[in-house]
Chain A
Amino acid sequence: MLNILTRGLYKSNPVFRLMLGLCPVLAVSSSVHNAIGMGTAVIFVLVSSNFIVSLIRKMIPRRIRIPIFIMIIATFVTIVDLLMAGFSPLLHKSLGLYIPLIVVNCIILGRVETFASKNKIIFSVADGLGMGFGFTLSLVLIASFREILGNGTWLGMQIFGSKFKPAILMILPPGAFLTIGLLMGLLHWIDHYRTVHKHVHSKAR
């Protein structure tokens, strides 16, 4: 159970490991505020879709499961879209096109298809939460790098003195690609280092 909850954070992190749902990661990570908004929306859609699919998993005929999943996901995405437009119009404006595009975010269909359609409700909800948080965490991490370096702020708070000249490139599109590429490289490097380390240890024994 705990494993299901936590594996989305690092071991099978949807963004860095599974490379799923990269479009919104790149697009809305220019500020931490947007990243949190997007992450919340994805968590809501992921948990709700996992819950519903797991609830009716025995009633869905195998051959038409994909269209049914897509309809369920699209319904929850529209709900988020409408709620955000009504209660947080500023966030809705800055996320814009990328809210309806959660429908085609591979994380959601992927989790629903590989996990929720085969597992009990409680595990499916845990999986949704874990993966959702993993996604949000990666998004906030990337956004932090970009906002701090590109705008000199974090969540709108001034980090450096007024003399700091931000590298605007970081909050422009190229910055998104560069940040994610370097972070992914760093993660690979850590993995490599750890396996080499383990190897040395086991040999020493």
Chain B
Amino acid sequence: MEFQSLLIIAVGAIFISNFVLERFLGICPYIGVSQKLHAAFGMGMAVIFVMSMASVVTWTIYTYLLKPSTTNIIYRLIMKGQGSPPDLTYLRTITFILVIATLVQFVEMVIQKTSPGLNRTLGIYLPLITTNCAILGVSILNIESGYGFIESLVNGFASGIGFTLALILMAGLREKLELTNVPRAMRGAPIAFILAGCMSLAFLGFTGLKIG
């Protein structure tokens, strides 16, 4: 594990294949929660936190429970190392979504009990996150890219940053936009999409960026 490869993953997740603008994940909160800068910031923080957690947890579960290998826990404990390791990868989607839903509930509970300050910033955004496809998306991407534990963590964290960056930029633009005279039919979501298109165009400039 070199530092450089982690840096490549991080820059890739934030700029080159930005979760919102190039991969189209988490569009619903991107359009829905980007009217106010303050809300966008809270949502972004919640996503970064849950994404990092989810990356780590789903990676661990996939590697030690679902993937057929000799270190598979089911193979070790229940089958006692006999026969061939079970291939449960087809349960990936259902396991991941349940794990993420449970994780979000758990995080919500812990934050409520321990930190009222954090609860005020993140609290209302946490329930929305379960159905945010960015979380499930990053978990599956970690597996399909063949990342290890640390790489998954970095990818999850950086993808969250990328999401937040896009969200905050958008919120800043939309706050300014409220003062301008937009044609009636384009007000609200349509103009937000056009803005997103322009931002996506700008981010397209990062593709092909070569590091190292």
Closest B residue by C-beta to A26:
B24
Q: Do B140 and A186 touch across chains, with their CB atoms under 8 A apart? A: no
Interface segment, B5-13, B46-54, B58-66, B89-97? B89-97
Q: Of A24, A100, A109, which is in contact with the most chain B CB atoms at under 10 Å from its CB?
A: A100
Closest B residue by C-beta to A73:
B97
Report the bound CA distance from A71 to B90 in whole Å: 14
Please give 4 more A-B residue pairs, beta carbons under 8 A apart, in addition to A66-B101, A174-B201.
Answer: A70-B98, A74-B98, A104-B135, A106-B131
Interface segment, B114-122, B151-159, B186-194? B186-194
Q: Do B93 and A174 touch across chains, with their CB atoms under 8 A apart? A: no
Q: Which residues of A contact B (CB under 8 A)?
A: 19-20, 22-24, 26-27, 66-67, 70-71, 74-75, 77-78, 81-82, 97, 100-101, 103-106, 109, 169, 172-178, 180-182, 184-186, 188-189, 192
Q: Do B131 and A109 touch across chains, with their CB atoms under 8 A apart? A: yes
| Contact of B177 with A by CB under 8 A | no
Whole-angstrom distance from the CB of B199 to the nearest CB of chain A?
Answer: 8
Report the bound CA distance from A190 to B137 in whole Å: 36
Q: Which residues of B contact A (CB under 8 A)?
A: 21-28, 31-32, 90-94, 97-98, 101, 130-133, 135-137, 140-141, 144, 183-187, 189-194, 196-198, 200-201, 204
Report the bound CA distance from A154 to B26 in whole Å: 28
Report the bound CA distance from A71 to B94 in whole Å: 6
Q: Do B131 and A184 touch across chains, with their CB atoms under 8 A apart? A: no
Whole-angstrom distance from the CB of B208 to the nearest CB of chain A?
Answer: 13
Q: Do A188 and B186 touch across chains, with their CB atoms under 8 A apart? A: yes
B residues in contact with A26, CB < 8 Å = 24, 27
B97 contact from A104, A175, A182, Cβ within 8 A: A104
B185 contact from A71, A103, A192, Cβ within 8 A: A192
B residues in contact with A175, CB < 8 Å = 197
Q: Do A101 and B197 touch across chains, with their CB atoms under 8 A apart? A: no
Closest B residue by C-beta to A71:
B94
A residues in contact with B135, CB < 8 Å = 104
Q: Do B133 and A181 touch across chains, with their CB atoms under 8 A apart? A: no
Report the bound CA distance from A128 to B101 in whole Å: 24
Q: Do A181 and B192 touch across chains, with their CB atoms under 8 A apart? A: yes
Report the bound CA distance from A61 to B140 in whole Å: 31
Whole-angstrom distance from the CB of A93 to the nearest CB of chain B?
Answer: 12
A residues in contact with B193, CB < 8 Å = 177-178, 180-181, 184
Q: Do B190 and A181 touch across chains, with their CB atoms under 8 A apart? A: yes
Report the bound CA distance from A26 to B23 in whole Å: 9
B residues in contact with A100, CB < 8 Å = 92-93, 136, 140
B residues in contact with A185, CB < 8 Å = 183, 185-186, 190-191
Q: Of B24, B90, B198, B200, which is in contact with the most chain A CB atoms at under 10 Å from its CB?
A: B24
Closest A residue by C-beta to B192:
A181
A103 contact from B24, B31, B136, B198, Cβ within 8 A: B136
Q: In the complex where A74-B93, A74-B97, A100-B136 touch, is A23 in contact with B31 (Cβ < 8 A)?
A: no
Closest B residue by C-beta to A191:
B185
Report the bound CA distance from A66 to B101 in whole Å: 10
Q: In the complex where A106-B28, A184-B189 touch, is A177 in contact with B200 (Cβ < 8 A)?
A: yes
A178 contact from B27, B92, B101, B197, Cβ within 8 A: B197
Report the bound CA distance from A20 to B131 in whole Å: 11
Q: Do B94 and A74 touch across chains, with their CB atoms under 8 A apart? A: yes
Q: Do A104 and B133 touch across chains, with their CB atoms under 8 A apart? A: yes
Report the bound CA distance from A6 to B136 in whole Å: 32
Q: Do A78 and B190 touch across chains, with their CB atoms under 8 A apart? A: no
Report the bound CA distance from A85 to B130 in whole Å: 27
A residues in contact with B198, CB < 8 Å = 174
Give 24 A-B contacts (CB < 8 Å), ordered by A residue: A19-B31, A19-B189, A20-B28, A22-B28, A23-B28, A26-B27, A27-B23, A74-B97, A75-B94, A78-B93, A97-B144, A101-B137, A103-B97, A104-B133, A109-B131, A169-B201, A172-B204, A173-B22, A173-B24, A173-B200, A176-B24, A188-B186, A188-B187, A192-B185
